[in-house]
Amino acid sequence: MNVLVVDDEEVIRDVLGSLLRREGHRVREASTAAAALTAADEEPFDVVLLDLMLPDRPGMEVLRELKKRDPAAVVVVVTAYSSIESAIAAMREGAFHYIPKPFQNEEVILTVRKGGEQRLLAEENRRLRAELSQRRGLDRIVGKSVPMQRVFELVRMAAPSKSTILIEGESGTGKELVAKAIHQLSPRSGAAFVTVNSGSMPADLLESNLFGHVRGAFTGAIANKKGLFEVADGGTLFFDEIGTISLETQAKLLRVIQEREFMRLGGTENQKADVRILAATNVDLKSLVSSGRFREDLYYRLCVIRIGLPPLRERKEDLPMLAEHFLRFYASENGKGLKGIDPDAMKALFQHQWPGNVRELENAIERSVVLSSGTSITVDLLPESVFAPDETTASFSIPPEGLSYREAVENFERRLVVSAMKRAGGVQKKAADLLKTRPTTLHEIIKRLGLSTREPAAVPADPVDDSTVAAGK
């Protein structure tokens, strides 16, 4: 374990340090309250042995500060000033145990061991509580469209198996939610679900995080460290954006999948890994295989079962359900009495193509809820991005099923007016100047479109490029 010894007497620190190191613990020493709190900021400790009499601050203050920073901190008070009063006071402040000086070595060893066990138990309870709050399986995924029903069916069929699963979909489609649902519906639901953010760290750091390392494996490796494969033992390891990992790491990952074992960095012994692997990607892995950036053998190992998530634009019938779901959540979180979404606002949501998918919709609804002061979300509360042309469809095209000319023109007119009003801070005369029309004409347009005419302070003031408004883009 990682133990911090805090005492102003060098001989006491030496005795306790030597004793605990012989037991296999890593020990850091501090002679003052300031040094102890600095050490606690720099790294976590499983157990702290704390003297109550320190030269710069009373040890009781250090105890309070440590418990304030980490309520689960295990602090054992060790002091020559033993009395029933100080013992009771220390326990009231959250001390785990109280050892008087002179101490018995066995008592120290046993107390540290029990303190470490309590720390591990507290961490496990915290992890389980966090997991229980997420254990809602498919209930967290909103959708009744045919494409989503196919996804649900695949998840239910594949979850109980041991097979690796590849989840494909654009950014923001909910790949991690699907991975969590698979875990929760599997026999491994009682064990850990661990996410690996593959694209957020360099290759050497990723390998250290995945496989762990032994002491001395590299500069700064001052102790053995478990990797995520060991942390997820018996559970599920989810690789988010698997296509970003290096070819060297891909080779090691392939070996783990095939052999069910791995080796820590700098180690000489194989470690067993009972882990189910799920992977997600927002790019076409087959194209990466063709270009030599992804191993073909790993691809087929991962893609035993493939689940493809549809983009939001291909399941627009789910949009009202999703929007209402986010509305209820963020209204409750922000203490707003919102009842629904205005029809014009809902029409604008339908006409947007949502390149950021469900995540973009969630952000739009959260923003609208926060800025609202009425009982419903109106069109002028929606972010400018909802009305701006998508970069991927800058050149206008008519969909295969056709569209309503009147609605398309009205939607463009609405976008233009809302953009101008926001740019003008809600002042109609300024907006009319931007649109090079009369204020009375703009007022009639606003009335016809059913837009809000609230005071400037209530109108979200997003920056809009003047050239965009003037050009009517």
pLDDT per residue as tens digits for the range 186-213:
999 888 999 998 776 777 778 888 888 7
- Indicate the burial class of 373 (C-beta count within 10 angstroms; 0-12, 13-18, 19 or more): exposed
Give the Cα separation of 175 and 167 in Å (integer). 6
| Helix (H) or strand (E) segment spanning residue 285 | helix 285-290
At residue 390, does pLDDT exceed 60?
Answer: no
Query: How crowded is residue 397: how many other Cβ atoms within 10 Å of its Cβ?
Result: 6
Amino acid found at 469 = V
pLDDT of residue 133: 47
For 286, what's the count of Cα atoms within 13 Å in the CB-facing half-sphere?
3
Q: 84-92 and 59-69 are packed helices; what angle lies between their axes, rounded to 10 degrees?
A: 20
At residue 216, does pLDDT exceed 80?
Answer: no
pLDDT of residue 427: 82
DSSP H helix total and E strand total for the chain: 19, 14
Average pLDDT of the chain is 84
- Residue 423: pLDDT band with limits 50, 70, 90: confident
Q: 146-158 and 175-184 are packed helices; what angle lies between their axes, rounded to 10 degrees?
A: 40
- Residue 83: pLDDT band with limits 50, 70, 90: low
At residue 84, does pLDDT exceed 80?
Answer: no
Q: How many Å separate Cα 79 from the centre of its chain?
A: 43
Amino acid found at 416 = L
Mean predicted confidence (pLDDT) in 230-235: 90
Residues making up the chain, counted from first to last: 473
Mean predicted confidence (pLDDT) in 209-219: 78
Global pTM value: 0.58
Q: Encode pLDDT of 111-141 as tens digits.
A: 999 998 888 888 877 777 655 544 456 777 8
Label residue 402 left, alpha or beta by phi (over 0 means left) and psi (-120 to 50 means alpha): left
- Indicate the burial class of 254 (C-beta count within 10 angstroms; 0-12, 13-18, 19 or more): middle
Give the Cα separation of 89 and 72 in Å (integer). 18
Q: Tell whether the torsion through CA atoms of 79, 83, 85 and 91 is positive or negative.
A: positive
Residues forming a β-bridge with 30: 6
pLDDT of residue 472: 36
Q: Encode pLDDT of 136-180 as tens digits.
A: 567 778 899 999 999 999 999 999 999 999 999 999 999 999 999
- Indicate the burial class of 400 (C-beta count within 10 angstroms; 0-12, 13-18, 19 or more): exposed
Written as six digits, the tokens of 197 are: 């953010």
Domains of the chain: 2-129 (3.40.50.2300), 146-308 (3.40.50.300), 314-394+401-471 (1.10.8.60)
Q: Encode pLDDT of 299-356 as tens digits.
A: 999 999 999 999 999 999 999 999 999 999 999 999 998 989 999 899 999 989 899 9
- Indicate the burial class of 401 (C-beta count within 10 angstroms; 0-12, 13-18, 19 or more): exposed
Q: Tell whether the torsion through CA atoms of 390, 392, 398 and 400 is positive or negative.
A: negative
